[in-house]
Amino acid sequence: MLDKQLLMIPGPTPVPARVLHAMAKHPIGHRSKAYGKIQEEITANLNWLHQTQHNVQALTVSGTGAMEAGIINFLSAGDRVLVGCNGKFGDRWGDIAEKYGLQVERINAEWGKPLDVAEFQSKLEADKEKEIKAVIVTHSETSTGVLNDLEGINKAVKAHGEALIIVDAVTSLGAMSVPVDEWGLDVVASGAQKGYMIPPGLGFVAVGEKAWKAYETATLPKYYLDLGLHRKATAKNSTAFTPPINLVFGLQEALRMMKEEGLENIFTRHNRLKKASRAGVKALGLSLFGADEVASPAVTAVMPTDVEAEKIRSTMQQKFDISLAGGQNHLKGKIFRIGHLGFVCERDTLTVMAALEATLQELGQNNFTPGAGVAAANQVFAG
């Protein structure tokens, strides 16, 4: 059957009909009073979602653009920065920082393992001259399904006292608590097509007071991504440049839905989806990539040993119209990833487990009790 896709990748994520309908409205002028009201509402709700008192800035970019803005607005060429690298996105932030002439020290961990908090601690403690200007970390590493210990790394940064913490929360924001003000996270970047439940095209950057102070002396060149221009406009319920109006209509609706559900409920839902996905996959005799203790609430990576990951993906797609993500870079063909982020409910996870079981059987895998995947997921949901 055509066009009955179930999108289970870690972004873009499924979009509620309420949001799709909102996006299909006729655009309005972005310098109108009507638009100002929308901007006011979305800023308030973005602040709510980020648990911050400071206005979150919305930019017309994808997640990478938001992260680049999060880096270049607060640093100058030659600045020393630590970048946590244990996946595709950590590597990307290292690349961006190098492109802009920062002095980048990568703190590496194997893909599938979390970053080592102690390494950050010792680097930061050793920096008596306070030369380290920023620590750049991916919270939930989408490429591996590993959640880094942001709270732990942040404590080391706070003990240092000088460095900013710049966070890629692209697949954690809206899936788990990222208490920006409480933790004193200086810069937090995220993207629309993830926990926000809207299509791609908007990036978000939360900026704390300390980062705004750093902004004043940062000298890297920028204009379109200059967050100071955005801050000024946002404070007047306006935008520095033309916003993606129809996507903003969608964001307005999605944030209303998120408020209706409530932050705690959203986080609980994602946690349950994570646990059920992992339990189901294990019950089907497949190996998880990454340990339970460091599992992202957004995406579960699976490393099958007896059957090709890409065969599972293509069968799931062709037979059931379920889209799963593949591996990236050296993990291409070695893992597949189940997204359970944003507009995903328990029924979707049960569906994936049922289809995954049929797929494995079709591919000759029989090392599990029929029904085991669904049963294991059900057990988590019953708990």
Note whether 15 binds a copy of itself by CB under 8 A: yes
Note whether 380 binds a copy of itself by CB under 8 A: no
Note whether 70 binds a copy of itself by CB under 8 A: no
Residue 313 class from Cβ within 10 Å (0-12 exposed, 13-18 middle, 19+ buried)? buried
- Give the alpha-carbon dihedral of 240, 242, 247, 249, to 10 degrees: 80
- Alpha-carbon distance of 267 to 102, in angstroms, equals 35
Question: Which part of the chain contacts a copy of itself (CB under 8 A), choosing from 147-155, 208-216, 319-327, 375-383?
Answer: 319-327
- Give the alpha-carbon dihedral of 213, 136, 139, 64, to 10 degrees: 90
Q: In this complex, which beta carbon is closest to a copy of itself, that of residue 153 or of residue 248?
A: 248
Question: Which part of the chain contacts a copy of itself (CB under 8 A), choosing from 63-71, 115-123, 278-286, 290-298?
Answer: 63-71
Note whether 137 binds a copy of itself by CB under 8 A: no
Note whether 329 binds a copy of itself by CB under 8 A: no
Note whether 63 binds a copy of itself by CB under 8 A: yes
How many CB atoms within 10 Å of residue 36? 15
Q: Looking at this protein, which amino acid is placed at residue 235?
A: A
| DSSP annotation string for 341-365 | -SS--HHHHHHHHHHHHHHHHHTT-
Nearest-approach distance from CB 316 to a copy of itself, in angstroms: 13
* 251 and 239 Cβ atoms separated by less than 8 Å: no
Binding string, residues 181-210; x marks residues near a copy of itself by CB under 8 A: ----------x-x-----xxx---------
Q: Looking at this protein, which amino acid is placed at residue 338?
A: I
Note whether 373 binds a copy of itself by CB under 8 A: no
Q: Give the chain's count of helices (H) and strands (E).
A: 14, 14
Q: In this complex, which beta carbon is closest to a copy of itself, that of residue 28 or of residue 44?
A: 28
Q: Which residues here bind a copy of itself, judged by CB under 8 A?
A: 5, 7, 9, 11-12, 14-15, 20-21, 23-32, 60-65, 68, 95-96, 99-101, 191, 193, 199-201, 220-226, 241-247, 323, 325-326
